[in-house]
Structure 1
Amino acid sequence: MSEADSGRDRLRELLDAVLDEDSTTLADMAGRAFSSPFHFTRTLSRQTGESPVALRRRVLLERAAWQIGRGGSVTEAAFGAGYGSVEGFTRAFTRTFGRPPSATGPGSATWAPAPNGIHLHPPVHLWVEQNPRRHTGMDVTALQVHHDVEDTAALIDLAAGLTEEQYRHEWFPDLTVLSWDGPEGSIAACLHRLVHTKEVWLASVEGGDLPAPGGDTAGELRERHARVARRWVATTADIDRRGAWGDRIVDAICDPPESFLLGGIIAHVLTFAGHRRQMVRHMLRACGSGAGHGDPLEWLQDRNGGRGGTP
């Protein structure tokens, strides 16, 4: 056996010790690898760039994300990942993935940032990337995407409490965000465009037909948004996982067809969604409704239990 093969086998043994269901402490892990905690930590950290405890915690969070994405209970996933409370699990999950467990669904990303390319390969195996991407911190794009869909949902909920006259009143009769979209001077028009824009761009990315505009009552928009938000989050996560931000699509929905970078599409949607959400806030305030600031820092504070604006 070559030295390289021996090294790989030893790494496998160390990883097996870390991820054994009964390895709940560093001493347990080291004992299963027939090593002292000191040497076990030093060897694994040197080979993976991650301490045994941190690696185990991350991979168990990846497993929890996979379970929740398949419809599993957040409570069961939390205790299965070794957390003593759902609240503590939710904070750790949000810090790791940039989204709360409640925003995790089919197609959501389940790999957390890692220095070594070692990830869960569901349900119980490990995947080791040959050339792992180096992550230096929070995935800002994922945070922006999740903030956008959650903030939009919150605005739709606020709009549901308005009278029909307030909801459809032209507060800004001359407001046109993008010339090809037409006027958006009412709360109804702005919220509809927030939802429909994602429906249209997803059809382009997925190769579908141009979707017809759906109903624009607050109840109808709530249902449409819930459907499109899950697909939108899953699509952006998949683009990131594949490193496909620079890939192009030829959008046959346009006349004539045009090509767009996937990263450009996401940036376009997020840019104008942010503008529209603030316009909706101005109109809600005119109706006497408290709509907050829509600040991602405040959103993160809420998600992290009030512990500052960093994840």
Structure 2
Amino acid sequence: MTNGRDRLRELLDAVLDERNTTLTDMASGVYASPFHFARQVSKGTGEAPVAMRRRVLLERAAWQLSTGAAVTEVAWAAGYDSVEGFSRAYSRAFGHAPSATPRRPATRWLPAVNGIHFHPPMSLWVESEPKGRSDMDPTTLLVHHDLDDTRALLDLAKGLDDTAYRRKRGNGTALAWDGPDDSLATVLDHLIWAKEVWLASIEGADQPPHGPDDTATLARRLDEVAPRWLDAVRAIDRRGGWNDTLIDALCEPPESFVLGSVLAHVLTYSAHRRQLAWQWLRAENPAAADEYGDPIMWLRRRGNA
């Protein structure tokens, strides 16, 4: 029985109940088998329940740390058996150690295709738009797919030796100021560098350092820039700022750009580069033989039709 309550809301309550630390606990709270519970949550949100709980608790941990809570207390509250395990998970998610969390009272959200996030002090925030924006809005899907697809490419590229990773495969140049997109190393680097540079412009920060392009470093760079990039996109979207003008002081001389065109620019060239990388990886790695970076397949793997 649902007692008139929204069934998906009941499932989400079970996922995040402090007492429900396992999938079996979650399912028993709503009188379902673990299999059917996991299937219902995945179908309704596009995210597995255990993964959602882990992500939302890490988001809560970020907020708690930003208010001055001790790392040890936050680790236990997030369900970790050790501070070391919590620190590793937190660093992978946010790109910095728990102790380096900025002291600000804002929630730090991690990438989530369903728009479900922790909202302080003890509730959820489900992103939506007054005009109908949802997690199925094409722009929202493209932003999230771009980041996830880049992670998938990096994971496969890690299996290549350095010769294959840096082999020159063409003379193409997507954007003259970035240089040639002629190897997996340069293409993957440009995918991440574009977000680092544009994010600095949006935030009014200095030119960021251009880090190394080995796969391990690129993965760390992506982990660091992805949540900040999503935060920036969400903030612009919430205030209806896509028609605002950005004066980019990082250009010589400074140039002005409409924010909506900046996101369209990043997504356009990112899609081009990701398709190049998939083409080259299919020739190198058998695990990529049937992969094309298709957002339809990406959604299906997450439980969306």
TM-score using structure 2 length: 0.66
Task: For 1:151 and 1:203, locate their aligned partners in 2 and report how far apart those are by CA, in whole Å.
Answer: 22
User: Alignment partner of 2:46: what SS?
Assistant: helix
When Rg is computed on C-alpha atoms for both structures, the one with the higher figure is 1
What SS does the corresponding residue of 2:152 show, helix, strand or coil? helix
Distance, in Å, in 1 between the alignment partners of 2:26 and 2:264 is 33
Identity over the aligned pairs, expressed in percent?
40
Amino acid at match of 2:296: L
Match of 1:275 among 272, 277, 290: 272
- Partner deviation per Cα, 1:14-63 (whole Å, 9 max, x = no partner): xxxxxxxxx9511xxxxxxxxxxxxxxxxxxxxxxxxx637x839x8599
Q: Secondary structure at the match of 1:162?
A: coil
Worse-superposed segment, 285-294 or 228-237? 285-294
2:40 to 68, 88, 93: 88
Whichever residue aligns with residue 6 of structure 2, its letter is V
From 245, 249, 257, the equivalent of 2:246 is 249
Q: Residue 146 of structure 2 aligns to which amino acid in structure 1? A: D
Partner of 1:213, secondary structure, is coil
State yes or no: 1:300 paired with 2:252: no
How do 1:128-139 and structure 2 match up within 5 A? 133-135=130-132, 138-139=136-137
Question: In the alignment, what sits opposite 2:67?
Answer: none
* Higher RCO structure (Cα 8 Å, ≥6 apart): 2
Alignment check: 8 A CA contact 1:199 1:211 kept: yes
Number of matched pairs? 240
Q: Which residue of 1 aligns with 2:188?
A: 191
Q: State how far apart, in whole Å, the 2-side matches of 1:230 and 1:276 are.
A: 21
Deviation at 1:210, TM superposition (A): 0.6
Tell me how far apart the structure 2 counterparts of residues 240 and 246 of structure 1 sit (CA, whole Å): 10
Q: Deviations over 1:86-113 (max 9, x none)?
A: 4432332238xxx977777523599x89
8 Å CA contact retained: 1:83, 1:89: no
8 Å Cα contact 1:246/1:261 also seen in 2: yes
Structure 1 residues 1-311: aligned runs within 5 Å: 24-26=2-4, 53=6, 57=9, 84=32, 85-94=37-46, 106-107=108-109, 122-123=120-121, 133-135=130-132, 138-172=136-170, 174-291=171-288, 292-304=291-303, 310=305
Aligned CA distance change for structure 1 residues 73 and 274 (closer, same or farther; 3 Å) = farther
Partner AA of 2:140 in structure 1: A
Q: Give the whole-Å Cα distance in 2 for the aligned partners of 1:262 and 1:122.
A: 29
Partner SS for 1:133: coil
The 8 Å contact of residues 170 and 185 in structure 1, kept in 2 or not, is answered as yes
Letter of the aligned partner of 2:187 in structure 1?
Answer: C
CA distance in 2 between partners of 1:167 and 1:208 (Å): 32
- In structure 1, stretches of 5+ residues that fail to align are 1-22, 27-51, 114-119
Cα drift, residue 64 of structure 1: 7.5
Q: Deviations over 1:274-310 (max 9, x none)?
A: 0000111121123244430111000011001xxxx64
AA of the residue aligned to 2:299: L
Compared with structure 1, are the counterparts of its residues 254 and 57 closer, same or farther at alpha carbon in structure 2 (3 Å cutoff)? same
Q: Aligned partners of 2:294 and 2:282: how far apart in 1?
A: 16
Distance 1:87 1:236, change over 3 A: farther
| SS of match in other structure, 2:242 | coil
* Cα displacement (A) at 1:162: 0.4
Task: Point out the more displaced range, 157-166 or 235-244.
Answer: 235-244
Cα gap change, 1:125 to 1:183, in 2 (>3 Å): closer
* Root mean square deviation, CA, Å: 3.9
Whether the 8 Å CA contact 2:14–2:26 is kept in 1: the answer is no
